[in-house]
Structure 1
Amino acid sequence: MTWTDEEIKQLEAASTIQNKPFGPDKATFTEDNPVWEVVVDGRLYIRGGNGTASRWYVNGTKNGSHIRLGNQEYAVDYRAVSDPAEVQAVTDAYQAKYHGQYPIDMMVEDRAAQATVELVKR
């Protein structure tokens, strides 16, 4: 599935979304944390400040996730991003959206950039 135009507008306007990756049983959420998110070319991205060792990154890439935006919850798959141009576009979007906010410096460093994922709506 793809994100609707209305959902993209809401995501672009949001400061954070709630990220709820599944554990190994794929039924129980291991976390429920706010994360920064960006939209690039109609696609939704998040990244882990602690890199690919982030617990939510590990669980989400293996088991999927739900995210919550306002009162709406969406089932999503994580698609790890490795294309350098796509990673750079996400870095640029993070810098534009969160410029001057803490911890933007950490979120645009290589370690976080390596943990860039696209959230693909199911």
Structure 2
Amino acid sequence: MSWTREIINKINQSTTIQNQPFDENKTPLQDIPLWVVTINNHIYLRAGKGKESKWYQAGIKNGGQIKVDGQIFKINYRPVTDKAEEQNVTKAYLEKYHGQYPIDMMISPTCANATVELIQR
């Protein structure tokens, strides 16, 4: 299932989204507000602590959900392994969050290596 233009627009107007990866029992972990970017109809997140982040590990393993404008969307987290795609996400972060703290961390190699695309279920 692909994201609607309406949801993409709402995400583009938001600074953060509420990210809730699932634990092993498919119970949402705590709400984690994260910076979010889009490229065309694709939605991306990055883990501030890299691949060691608890939410990153749980999300890759168990899926999760996000909240956008009061709506909940079940998602899978697809690790981004293509370096060109990763660089495009870095550019999107720079465009959207230029001058904000902690942009330097979010474009660092550690965070870039922990980029995921959100795939709607």
- After superposition, the C-alpha distances for 1:90-111 in whole angstroms (9 at most, x for unaligned) are 0000000000110000000000
- After superposition, the C-alpha distances for 1:56-107 in whole angstroms (9 at most, x for unaligned) are 0000000001000121110000000010000000000000000011000000
Q: Which runs of 5+ in 2 are unaligned?
A: none
- After superposition, the C-alpha distances for 1:27-57 in whole angstroms (9 at most, x for unaligned) are x112211000000121000000100000000
In the other structure, the counterpart of 2:73 is: 74
Q: Could you tell me which amino acid in structure 2 is paired with residue 80 of structure 1?
A: P
Tell me the matched-pair count.
121
CA distance in 2, matches of 1:33, 1:8: 19
If the length of structure 2 is used for normalisation, what is the TM-score? 0.98
CA distance in 1, matches of 2:7, 2:32: 20
Alignment of 1:7-46 (within 5 A): 7-26=7-26, 28-46=27-45
CA distance in 1, matches of 2:51, 2:33: 18
Aligned-CA RMSD value: 0.7
Alignment identity in percent?
49
If the length of structure 1 is used for normalisation, what is the TM-score? 0.97
- Alpha-carbon offset, residue 18 of structure 1: 0.1
Q: Which runs of 5+ in 1 are unaligned?
A: none
CA distance in 1, matches of 2:57, 2:93: 21
CA distance in 1, matches of 2:14, 2:119: 18
CA distance in 1, matches of 2:3, 2:11: 10
The list of structure 1 runs, each at least 4 consecutive aligned residues, that deviate by more than 2 angstroms after superposition, is none
In the other structure, the counterpart of 1:63 is: 62
1:85 matched to 2:95? The reply is no
